[in-house]
Chain A
């Protein structure tokens, strides 16, 4: 049974649909990347999975259990983590407090998880008493991912985790994402840096106009001349 499955998902913010029948499957040991042009519905799809917008047709399953249109706090309880692209930290709270909030529903696992997150992101340990809003972009992204990991999710949704980061930080974040996946967290992320993201992806989903255009392994999509021509800038 796949970890996460979307079947013919239609949805939007009320009014016109943005998603017009999207299918996806992700296994527990996979990193999946959603790419596509602006307005293709990439971030919208991620938000639909996390219960942030109305799914009015089709279904989304987490280990076979329907989860579409459940509120976000229920999804967190079911093992889903979400890192939004913007406003993904609590700026006036310290790094440590940010992480603690991630494990809000599991107060007993705060200590062991803090240790684990500090091991995954060593810079966060040094800055744990600093306000998260004072950190650099790359470190903020680490705080945001660390916060989501604190809840011990089985699947992590990342909305453009490398947006606005320097190439150095981008590679750092991608390396961390592979590490997180290696400890058993399924990853589904939206990326603008499509080539680099597909290079580390097990599976890629190319969306256009709210529908699937290509679905394949990351390597095959990179090698596919049609994909390269239309979506990866040649």
Chain B
């Protein structure tokens, strides 16, 4: 049983954590694609920007969270979301809108977004430095160890406070997005524009408004994902950037332009990663005595070493593009 607890911690909890981050990140990428039809490579650094805003605000008002009984960083998150949404709208106005107005091909926008990502990285490093910083400036990171009431179980299930916030906020974001897209007039207009932009325009939908609304949502989601990631680990200017590949893999696995697909894809990639680096030997250990003598299991039975975790989303991406390029939910083929 203790081996199974080990499995819960290293696969279920860890997979849900990275899965949630990938899911929120991939939803942002997929929304940009469905409305503006280009792969937005600056998304990861928008996440970093959101986390950086939280860091700046938390450093400026370290005691603000005490009144709410929450870590200051979490209390500052809504402000950071608003600021990141503003940044996203501003970036669009300054860089992407002029390109769209010229009727450029999507690839030009993709390259433009690479430029934006380099610029954001530079600006953030300029103010935040290059090292890691804890988002828990004045607060203490709670770690919950729960020993399940089962016979012989000594190994606790370990969940940290930021991970709990991550699960809750992922659920809230997904439900809120679902309600917005299916119940609200603007949300439906977004889906209409994703389905058929010309007809949306012919129905009197102002496409500029929809583009702005999309960036507000994308910026807010990026801030949530970036902040919760940095809370769980530490704030580093390049932390989110290294998640760009798994996030794009998640969006493509789920079906590009399909928000629910992105969520599913996020968890598929997250769990695939943790399952791939999990040492299966641990689970086999209790049965060691019943194996025949000639069979000696290697001490590490993981599919890939932890240091090669990044190849997992890459492999999934290649496999999906070969065998099912539209993704799980039949998205638009890039």
Residue pairs across A and B with CB atoms within 8 Å: the count is 61
Q: Judge whether A72 and B201 touch: CB under 8 Å.
A: yes
* A97 within 8 Å of B (CB atoms): yes
Given contacts A87-B196, A93-B195, contact A76 B188 (CB under 8 A): no
Task: Report the minimum CB–CB distance from B258 to chain A (whole Å).
Answer: 9
Residues of B within 8 A of A90 (CB): 191-192, 195-196, 199-200
Which residues of the other chain, A, contact B102 by a CB distance below 8 angstroms?
none
- How far apart sit A25 and B201, CA to CA, in the bound complex (Å)? 26
Query: Beyond A90-B192, A90-B196, is A73–B185 a contact (Cβ under 8 Å)?
Result: no
> For residue B191, which residue of chain A has the nearest CB?
A93
Q: Decide yes or no whether B206 CB sits under 8 A from chain A.
A: yes
Question: A93 contacts which chain B residues (CB < 8 A)?
Answer: 188, 191-192, 195
Residues of A within 8 A of B195 (CB): 90-93
Contact (Cβ within 8 A) A88 B199: yes
Question: What is the CA–CA distance of A102 and B202 in the complex, to the nearest angstrom?
Answer: 9
> A interface, how many residues as a size bin?
20 to 34
A104 within 8 A of B: yes
- The answer on a CB contact under 8 Å between B204 and A73 is yes
Quick check: is A2 within 8 A (CB to CB) of the other chain? no
**Chain B residues with a Cβ under 8 A of chain A:** 185, 188-189, 191-192, 194-196, 198-206
- Expressed in whole angstroms, the Cα–Cα distance for A91 and B205 within the complex equals 17
The verdict on A84 contacting chain B, using a C-beta distance below 8 Å, is: yes
Q: Are A84 and B192 in contact (CB-based, < 8 A)?
A: no
Chain B proximity mask over A47-72: 1 for CB below 8 Å, otherwise 0 = 00010000000000000000000011
Query: Knowing that A73-B204, A91-B196, A151-B203 are A-B contacts, what are 13 other residue pairs whose CB atoms are under 8 Å apart, sorted by A's residue number?
Result: A72-B202, A87-B199, A92-B194, A92-B195, A93-B188, A100-B188, A101-B188, A101-B203, A102-B203, A104-B203, A104-B204, A105-B204, A151-B204
B199: A residues at CB distance < 8 A: 84, 87-90, 147
Residues on A lying within 8 angstroms of B by beta carbon are: 50, 71-73, 76-77, 82, 84, 87-93, 97, 100-102, 104-105, 107, 147, 151
In the assembled complex, the Cα of A56 lies from the Cα of B198 at a distance in Å of: 22
| CB-CB nearest in chain A for B186 | A104
* 21 contacts across the A-B interface (CB closer than 8 A): A71-B201, A72-B204, A73-B201, A76-B202, A76-B203, A77-B204, A82-B202, A84-B199, A84-B202, A90-B199, A91-B195, A91-B196, A92-B191, A100-B185, A100-B188, A101-B192, A101-B203, A101-B205, A105-B204, A151-B203, A151-B204
Residue among A71, A72, A91 with max Cβ neighbours from chain B (10 Å): A72
| A91 CB contacts on chain B under 8 angstroms | 195-196
Known: A73-B205, A90-B191, A93-B192. A101 touches B200 (CB 8 A): yes
B188: chain A residues within 8 A (beta carbon): 93, 97, 100-101
